[in-house]
Amino acid sequence: MSTQTAKRSVWGSCIEAILFGGIFLAIGFGLSFWGWNILQNAKASSSWPTAEGTVTASDVTYSSNADGGESYSPEISYQYTTNNVGYESHTIKFGENSYSSRRKAEGIASGYPIGKKVIVYYDPQDPERSVLEPGVSGGSYIVLGIGILFGIIGLITAPLIVIFRK
């Protein structure tokens, strides 16, 4: 192999590594940023003021992906009033609200039957943003964790592509 061909091969490997690693790092950064916001909202929500609300809809939705994976989500709508302004929201908690088990989703939805009076925790800076179950849960960390994992994959695999393509 000529020196020029070898240089092109190394240069090509570097470009592949930068593209591959860069894509994973960008996705990882975006997911981590989104996950961090979810976690911060979850933490803040436990100290938000409360208002009495009423559940207006309670259901479980089903979705599937191309790989045949199924998920079930409890869909709860509720209305509340604060400072003489009425609001409607759908957030149960910050974090994961989709489950592989229909029974789990139905169990959550059954806790919020239509007409039930609920305590709504709302953001005093943005009263339209609210939650029924405040605080951090295991699901609050999922998006952040996936983002960090993508970032690590990008950081580890990019140099490996260059090393093993030489």
Structure confidence at residue 12 (pLDDT): 62
Angle subtended at Cα 81 by Cα 117 and Cα 104, rounded to the nearest 5 degrees: 40
The per-residue pLDDT for range 44-88, each reduced to its tens digit, is 899 999 999 999 999 999 988 767 778 899 999 999 999 999 999
Residue 143: both structure tokens together: 């998006």
Element (H, E) at 161: helix 142-165
Give how far Cα 97 sits from Cα of 56, 101, 106, 143, 158, Å: 18, 11, 12, 12, 34
Residue segments in the chain with a per-residue pLDDT below the cut of 50 = 6-8
- Spacing of C-alpha 113 from chain mean position: 25
Beta-sheet strand order (sheet of 50-64): 85-89, 70-82, 50-64, 117-123, 126-131
pLDDT for the residue numbered 94: 87
Q: Which residues contact 138 (CB under 8 A, 6 or more apart)?
A: 95, 96
Provide the Cα torsion 85, 90, 93, 99; round to 10°.
180
Indicate the angle between helix axes 3-45 and 142-165, nearest 10 degrees: 170
Instruction: Give exposure, 66-93, as e/b (b: 16+ Cβ within 10 Å).
Output: eeeeebbbbbbebebebeeeebebebbb
Q: At 86, is the secondary structure helix, strand, or coil?
A: strand
pLDDT of res. 70: 85
What pLDDT does residue 6 have? 47
pLDDT, position 166: 57
- At 92 the pLDDT is 94
